[in-house]
Amino acid sequence: MDDNLFEKLRILSDAAKYDVSCVSSGVERKNNSVGGIGNASAAGICHAWSSDGRCISLLKILLTNDCIYDCKYCLNRVTNPVKRASFTPEEVAELTIQFYRRNYIEGLFLSSAVEKSPDYTMENIYRTLELLRYKYNFWGYVHVKVIPGANSLLVQKAGMLADRMSVNIELPTKASLHLLAPQKKAENILQPMSLIHNEISRAIEDKSHFKNAERFVPGGQSTQMIIGATPDSDRTILNVSQNLYDKYRMKRVFFSAYIPVASSPNLPAVSTMPPLVREHRLYQADWLMRFYYFNSEELFTEIEPNLDLEFDPKMMYALRHLDKFPIEINKASYEELLRIPGLGVTSAQRIIRERKNAELSYDSLKKMKTVLKRAKYFMTVKGKYYGNTKFDPDSIKNEIRMKEIQKQISIFEFQGWGTHP
């Protein structure tokens, strides 16, 4: 390792840090290879938390920031005078191993700008994977980006060695993509997505017939889009997400609040703050779609295409459908329990389990550490309502607002920014 490694690492981690996904979950693998190092844990492991409170699970770097494209929202666009650097595949592999041996990381997340051509870049990504898996015998987690426009054979070869792959959809609509990244074609993004989806399905099918079937991206594929760089509404964004989940069986769709890095007539002013609360609301909505049986359309009304910034989307849903509440804790089905604002998957499961023995009381909910500060307005326990307010949207909102002010809770103290499954 020579000394300009520090310089390269600085440039290429700085350029990668805005990438959201850092998840290492979804793959369970023992270290079964003779002389091998590494395994993967299905739940994922976070290794460090940087001063912005984000989890660091994988070594997240770019192979190069030397880009031929000129996407308006990107720091590495060809017309931006930033310092350029490129790692060799050997350097990335060596760094990954050395960090992994010291338990700094769970594996590698390799992304890249497009250097010379999509094929040239994808080839280097593949070579890094090949070195790690075969030369270093590394069986920790590896996530690689797919470069749109690269030869599909390369994508396929990489998929046999990676745990997760992702193709960035970048922006929610074709029109936005055309406006800000005119050199990127929507077809070039969707084509590898569909290839990965088909190969994953095939690998799963093969596995049910042959014991030693080839594996293909066992951790599934994900994608990410930038929020707030274009005027697309939350409804558009979530409908696109729903589509991606349905059509390509995406494991995750990540949202990244746009941090102004350039001035352009097509972009928000450089002084604009990144829309962090909006990003948080979108993640909550995304969660509702994946684990709470919500459909994206249920989260909006005909007149309002954006999520509320003051209250979370489940709460807003409940306030618009008060006729379906309050829900009796001792009678409701699992799905109904999940509709109660503030009540999560763990609590719902615990309620179902515990009430098999005896009817639940308000006190036993508290003992279970169920968070009731929002839930209590939308439920009854043994027929009794504990909300202590009039049962209409404005009264409930006001009551919660007052409690919030008393507690001085900052809305920024949320968890789970790209950290959980």
Residues binding other proteins (CB under 8 A): 1, 5-6, 9-10, 13-14, 17-18, 30-31, 35-39, 41, 43, 45-57, 59-60, 95, 98-99, 101-104, 106, 140, 259, 273-274, 276, 350, 353-354, 356-357, 364, 367-368, 412-413, 415
The backbone torsions φ and ψ at residue 335, rounded to the nearest 5 degrees and listed phi first, read: -60, -40
User: Could you write out the DSSP letters of every residue in 305-366?
Assistant: -S--SSS-HHHHHHHHTGGG-SEETTT--HHHHHTSTT--HHHHHHHHHHTTTS---HHHHH
Sheet holding 379-381, edge to edge: 327-328, 379-381, 384-385
Residue 255 CB, shortest distance to other proteins, in Å, is 14
Q: 71 or 95: whose CB is closer to other proteins? A: 95
Residue 168 CB, shortest distance to other proteins, in Å, is 18
Residue 292 CB, shortest distance to other proteins, in Å, is 22
Residue 34 CB, shortest distance to other proteins, in Å, is 8
Q: 9 or 322: whose CB is closer to other proteins? A: 9
Q: 260 or 305: whose CB is closer to other proteins? A: 260
Quick one: how far is CA 324 from the chain centroid? 31
Q: 350 or 397: whose CB is closer to other proteins? A: 350
Strands (E), 129-199: 141-145, 164-166
Alpha-carbon gap, residue 65 to 83, rounded angstroms: 9
Residue 338 CB, shortest distance to other proteins, in Å, is 18
Alpha-carbon gap, residue 100 to 245, rounded angstroms: 32
Residue with tokens 């929002």: 374
Q: 59 or 217: whose CB is closer to other proteins? A: 59
Q: 5 or 402: whose CB is closer to other proteins? A: 5
The backbone torsions φ and ψ at residue 164, rounded to the nearest 5 degrees and listed phi first, read: -140, 150
Residue 291 CB, shortest distance to other proteins, in Å, is 20
CB 396 within 8 A of CB 322: no
